[in-house]
Amino acid sequence: MKTSGLVEPSVAAEEIARVEATILRVVASRSALIPEVHQHLVQAGGKRLRPTLTILCARAVGGCDERTILFAAMVELTHLASLMHDDIVDHSATRRGKASVNARWSNGVAVLVADWLISTISHELIGHGEYAALGILTGAVRRMCEAELIHLEQRARTWELPEAVYLEIVRDKTGALMAAACELGALAAGATAEQTNALRAFGTAMGMAFQIQDDLLDLTGDPALLGKPVGTDIAMGQLTLPVLYALENSTDGLLDQLRAAVTVTSPDELDIPRLRALVNEAGGIDYSRRAAQTYVDEAVEELACLPEGPAAEALRGLAERAIRREA
């Protein structure tokens, strides 16, 4: 059976509905564009993974209350703002098979709505006296922005980028917000220091596995499930572990073929079957699958200090499905 999703609908359905209600309250604005843009993003779908992590982490160490719901909503809004910024930076015309906000409206609308969301998150948390939560979220956003800037600095020489630098960038671009989502769940439920550290580390490791799976899907995925052409990231010079590994571990002849295969200006110019075959020959696909599995194993190990129960089991399931999804 194909596994295209990550979060099973029943895992935290009631709480996610409350998160959505909180988000609708928060995005109410004098500008009609803000709720309209939000609705556009909702209609494009999404995994609601990060708020689910917040909810499950809180459940695993205590319980889920209104504070947890607030934190989960702020995590999801942070994620949505980051998606709009990413689409502008990457000149993306689509998001999950629908027009991106910048393509549907304009770069200006996307920037302003994303910035409005970020400032509104701060305003909301300060209004509730949740300064620790604000510190966790703003710290994650800071790391995400720094990683994106490092990525932009490196883009001209992406395919010479050492794997260690790639992993650093991924840890901050993807892992930071998942770690924050988990830490906020721990904060909401009054977790111990040991539990908080473990859940933060769980989120980081899961984020690493999640991004490496995205890299694999960009090379091996089904465009119909992905909602975008395969090879989009590679064509833009984006960091992808299978290709980086192949370039670092190829013989001279194969290296020349790989360099020629990735030097394109759009996904339409990519010969995906050939590139996939070259990367596979160099061991990039198998290596990346093993790397993703290693991070899943690390994530699961971090949960050992939690009380056994449905929430801890659900967290383990999320980690394991992160590398079995097809979208």
How many CB atoms lie under 10 A from the CB of residue 228?
A: 20
- Look at phi and psi of residue 129 and say left if phi exceeds 0, alpha if psi is from -120 to 50, else beta: left
* pLDDT at site 233: 78
* pLDDT at site 156: 65
For residue 321, being part of any structural domain is answered with: no
* Domain span at 145: 13-315
For residue 230, being part of any structural domain is answered with: yes
Per-residue pLDDT at 146 exceeds 50? yes
Residue 288: closest CA among 256, 238, 239, 240: 240
* pLDDT at site 249: 87
- What is the spatial distance between Cα 226 and Cα 326, in angstroms, rounded to a whole number? 7
Give the pLDDT band of residue 9 (cuts 50, 70, 90): low
Q: Quick one: what percent of the chain has pLDDT higher than 90?
A: 68
For residue 4, being part of any structural domain is answered with: no
194-215: pLDDT as tens digits: 999 999 999 999 999 999 999 9
Per-residue pLDDT at 160 exceeds 90? no
Q: How far apart are the first and last CA of the chain?
A: 14
Range with lowest mean pLDDT among 11-15, 61-65, 316-320:
11-15
Say if residue 130 is exposed, middle or buried (CB neighbours under 10 Å; 0-12, 13-18, 19+).
buried
- What is the spatial distance between Cα 25 and Cα 34, in angstroms, rounded to a whole number? 12
Residue 237: closest CA among 148, 154, 162, 144: 154
- What is the spatial distance between Cα 280 and Cα 68, in angstroms, rounded to a whole number? 44
Q: Is the dihedral of CA 27, 29, 35, 37 positive or negative?
A: negative
Give the pLDDT band of residue 157 (cuts 50, 70, 90): low
* pLDDT at site 2: 39
Per-residue pLDDT at 236 exceeds 80? no
Per-residue pLDDT at 294 exceeds 60? yes
Q: Helix, strand, or coil here: 306?
A: coil
For residue 223, being part of any structural domain is answered with: yes
* pLDDT at site 226: 79
Q: Give me the mean pLDDT over the 85-106 stretch.
A: 89
What one-character-per-residue DSSP string does 109-121 give?
A: HHHHHHHHHHHHH
Task: At 99, give phi and psi (nearest 5°).
Answer: -60, 135
Q: pTM for this structure?
A: 0.93
CA distances from 217 to 24, 109, 179, 240 (A): 32, 30, 23, 10
Q: Which of 142-151, 222-231, 245-254 has the highest mean pLDDT?
A: 142-151
Single-letter amino acid code for the residue at 99? A
What one-character-per-residue DSSP string does 23-63 give?
A: HHHHT--SSTHHHHHHHHHHHT----HHHHHHHHHHHHHT-
For residue 8, being part of any structural domain is answered with: no
Range with lowest mean pLDDT among 30-39, 87-96, 294-303:
87-96
For residue 2, being part of any structural domain is answered with: no
Per-residue pLDDT at 252 exceeds 90? no
Tokens at 165, concatenated: 């630098």
* pLDDT at site 3: 42
CB 51 within 8 A of CB 73: yes
Q: Give me the mean pLDDT over the 149-171 stretch.
A: 84
Give the pLDDT band of residue 158 (cuts 50, 70, 90): low
For residue 254, being part of any structural domain is answered with: yes
For residue 5, being part of any structural domain is answered with: no
Per-residue pLDDT at 225 exceeds 90? no
Which residues have CB under 8 Å from 170's CB, separation 6+? 147, 207, 208, 211, 212, 239
Per-residue pLDDT at 108 exceeds 80? yes
Range with lowest mean pLDDT among 41-55, 168-182, 191-205, 295-309:
41-55
Q: Which of 124-133, 142-151, 153-162 has the highest mean pLDDT?
A: 124-133
The CATH number given to whatever domain includes residue 220 is 1.10.600.10
Domain count, the chain: 1
Q: At what angle do helices 284-302 and 272-281 cross, to 10 degrees?
A: 70
28-62: pLDDT as tens digits: 999 999 999 999 998 877 789 999 999 999 999 99
